[in-house]
């Protein structure tokens, strides 16, 4: 019997039992839909480490628009004025990046900074010969620190620096290669504003952070622009965060804004980007929020929980499918037994059952895929294209392969067990079977 003959015979038998087949397809669709939906949530959470669809998981409050220096002040002011009136935006503040450990003034003019750990730049002091080499972490401590904050080693700069006499530059533009340093709480003896030289590098102490205190918002923007992830900028006791001055020399100011209640992160950012484009401007938008570090940790826990739930729910539904299909086949064991008595090989009968089960699973996959695709299209209206592609790739890539794998396993299993049982029955037992 050829494959097409087997397919035709299978379809004819399925049509005869269409109510039972329809119920079986619904069960398959439910199992696959639940599995795919948990995969969708997991992909959303993992993408959340890239600030995706934050409204589902508590939102991210503070964002920043970083304006290049070559933009006219009037243009920026008009644009910010319109942004502040958006329904998606809750409050707009303007912070000048030049006040991060650069300007000498009687009072720090950056309202985002706390004078307890970011104060005025002081006049140079003669600290010749004084060193603070305890910033050089040993390998074990560094590994532990990297592991605890999920930061690569490359993000840490270890120092064995000796302060020497030097003349503090009036601005970083006059001293290319100067670095801002934010020190952990073990360096309270080092004065903020101290300027020192090591080899060919020049450094200014921009702030001493209290234990567990994060970088000021604007400093976090600079750190993020130079490869240090903001969600991991909580300073440890001995940690030194280095921010190259060149990292901010091309920027003029940053405007902070928050997502209004009821709006997701991407809804808010999308609205702000539209206003910026409307005014013919270009600017970078970044995240500045102390909630990100908590979000990164909670998203990992949520991702693990979702995977566990996905496995358990899918396993239960698959067992239900297997049980139902085996019962469905055994109800027809007399019919199948007659095929065997009539000379149909067990291999052919096995193929008929596998084809039937595969058709049911494929129908379930198609229906689930259409429903989930429509759901994603509706849910991701305000999400950027790269994020949408990432989630779609995760679901219709890995999830599809996993679905095909367990669908094939179910199809084979639900065909193998009844055939094995029938092969151990005598012809008399088959004929006298009470099953139809």
Neighbours of 13 (CB within 10 A): 15
Residue 51 has pLDDT above 50, yes or no: no
Distance, CA of 308 to CA of 301 (rounded, Å): 11
Distance, CA of 222 to CA of 215 (rounded, Å): 10
Distance, CA of 8 to CA of 422 (rounded, Å): 23
- Under DSSP, the state recorded for 31 is H
Neighbours of 107 (CB within 10 A): 8
Distance, CA of 101 to CA of 193 (rounded, Å): 7
Name, in order, each residue with C-beta under 8 angstroms of 16's C-beta and a sequence gap of 6 or more. Answer: none
| Adjacency order of strands within the sheet including 89-96 | 89-96, 251-259, 62-68, 284-287
Against a cut of 0.85, is the pTM above it? no
The model's confidence at residue 429, banded by pLDDT at 50, 70 and 90, is low
- Report whether 271 contacts 88 (CB < 8 A): yes
**Quick check: helix, strand or coil at residue 259?**
strand
Distance, CA of 206 to CA of 219 (rounded, Å): 10
Range among 141-145, 235-239, 253-257, 423-427 rated most confident? 423-427
Q: Tell me what pLDDT residue 171 has.
A: 43
Distance, CA of 431 to CA of 426 (rounded, Å): 9
Residue 22 has pLDDT above 80, yes or no: yes
Distance, CA of 208 to CA of 415 (rounded, Å): 70
Region 84-102 average pLDDT = 54
**Quick check: helix, strand or coil at residue 240?**
strand
Sequential DSSP letters for 106-149: SS---TTS-TTTS-PPPPP---TT-B-GGGS--HHHHHHHHHHH
The model's confidence at residue 132, banded by pLDDT at 50, 70 and 90, is very low
The model's confidence at residue 240, banded by pLDDT at 50, 70 and 90, is low
Q: How far is CA 409 from the centre of its chain?
A: 31
Range among 172-186, 298-312, 381-395 rated most confident? 298-312
Q: Which residues are paired to 242 by β-bridges?
A: 181
Q: Tell me what pLDDT residue 120 has.
A: 22
- Report whether 96 contacts 253 (CB < 8 A): yes
**pLDDT tens digits, one per residue of 213-223:** 656 555 555 55
Residue 149 has pLDDT above 60, yes or no: no
**pLDDT tens digits, one per residue of 332-357:** 777 777 777 777 777 887 888 888 88
Q: Tell me what pLDDT residue 145 has.
A: 41
The model's confidence at residue 11, banded by pLDDT at 50, 70 and 90, is confident
- More reliable by pLDDT, 124 or 88: 88
Q: At what angle do helices 291-331 and 18-47 cross, to 10 degrees?
A: 170
**pLDDT tens digits, one per residue of 277-304:** 888 887 766 554 433 334 444 445 555 6
Q: Which two tokens stand for residue 297?
A: 């940790």
Q: Which of 186, 203, 183, 185 has the alpha carbon at shortest distance from 194?
A: 203
Render the burial of 237-260: b for 16+ CB within 10 Å, e for the rest.
Answer: ebbbbbbbbebbeebbbbbbbbbb
Q: At what angle do helices 346-379 and 400-423 cross, to 10 degrees?
A: 150
């Amino acid at each position: 019997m050829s494959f097409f003959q087997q397919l035709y015979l299978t379809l004819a038998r399925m049509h005869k039992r269409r109510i039972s087949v329809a119920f079986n397809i619904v069960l398959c669709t439910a199992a696959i839909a639940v599995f795919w939906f948990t995969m969708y949530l997991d992909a959303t959470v993992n993408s959340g480490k890239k600030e995706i669809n934050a409204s589902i998981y508590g939102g991210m409050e503070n964002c920043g628009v970083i304006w290049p220096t070559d933009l006219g002040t009037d243009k920026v002011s008009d644009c910010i004025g319109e942004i502040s009136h958006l329904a998606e935006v809750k409050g707009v503040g303007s912070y000048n990046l030049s006040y991060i450990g650069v300007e000498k003034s009687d009072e720090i003019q950056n309202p985002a900074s706390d004078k307890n750990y970011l104060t005025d730049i002081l006049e140079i002091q003669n600290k010749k010969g004084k060193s603070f080499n305890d910033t050089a972490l040993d390998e074990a401590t560094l590994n532990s620190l990297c592991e605890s904050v999920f930061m690569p080693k490359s993000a840490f700069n270890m120092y064995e620096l000796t302060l020497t006499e030097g003349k503090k530059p009036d601005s970083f533009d006059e001293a290319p290669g100067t670095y801002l340093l934010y020190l952990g709480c073990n360096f309270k003896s080092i004065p903020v504003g101290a300027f020192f030289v090591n080899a060919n590098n020049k450094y200014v102490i921009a702030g001493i952070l209290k234990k567990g205190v994060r970088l000021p918002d604007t400093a976090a923007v600079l750190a993020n622009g130079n490869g240090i992830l903001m969600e991991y900028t909580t300073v440890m006791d001995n940690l030194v965060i280095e921010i190259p001055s060149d990292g901010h020399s091309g920027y003029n100011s940053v405007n902070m804004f928050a997502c209004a209640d009821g709006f997701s992160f991407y809804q808010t950012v999308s609205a702000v980007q539209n206003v910026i484009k409307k005014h013919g401007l270009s600017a970078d938008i970044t995240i500045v929020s102390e909630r990100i570090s908590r979000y990164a940790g909670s998203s990992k826990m949520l991702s693990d929980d979702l995977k566990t739930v996905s496995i358990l729910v899918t396993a239960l539904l698959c067992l239900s499918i297997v049980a139902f299909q085996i019962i469905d086949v055994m109800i027809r064991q007399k019919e199948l037994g007659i095929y065997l008595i009539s000379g149909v090989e067990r291999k052919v009968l096995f193929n008929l059952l596998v084809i039937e089960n595969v058709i049911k699973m494929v129908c379930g996959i198609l229906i689930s895929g259409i429903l989930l695709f429509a759901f994603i299209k509706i849910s991701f209206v305000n999400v950027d294209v790269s994020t949408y592609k990432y989630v779609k790739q995760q679901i219709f890539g890995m999830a599809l392969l996993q679905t095909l794998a367990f669908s094939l396993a179910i199809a084979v299993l639900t065909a193998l067990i009844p055939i094995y049982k029938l092969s151990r029955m005598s012809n008399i037992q088959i004929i006298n079977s009470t099953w139809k």
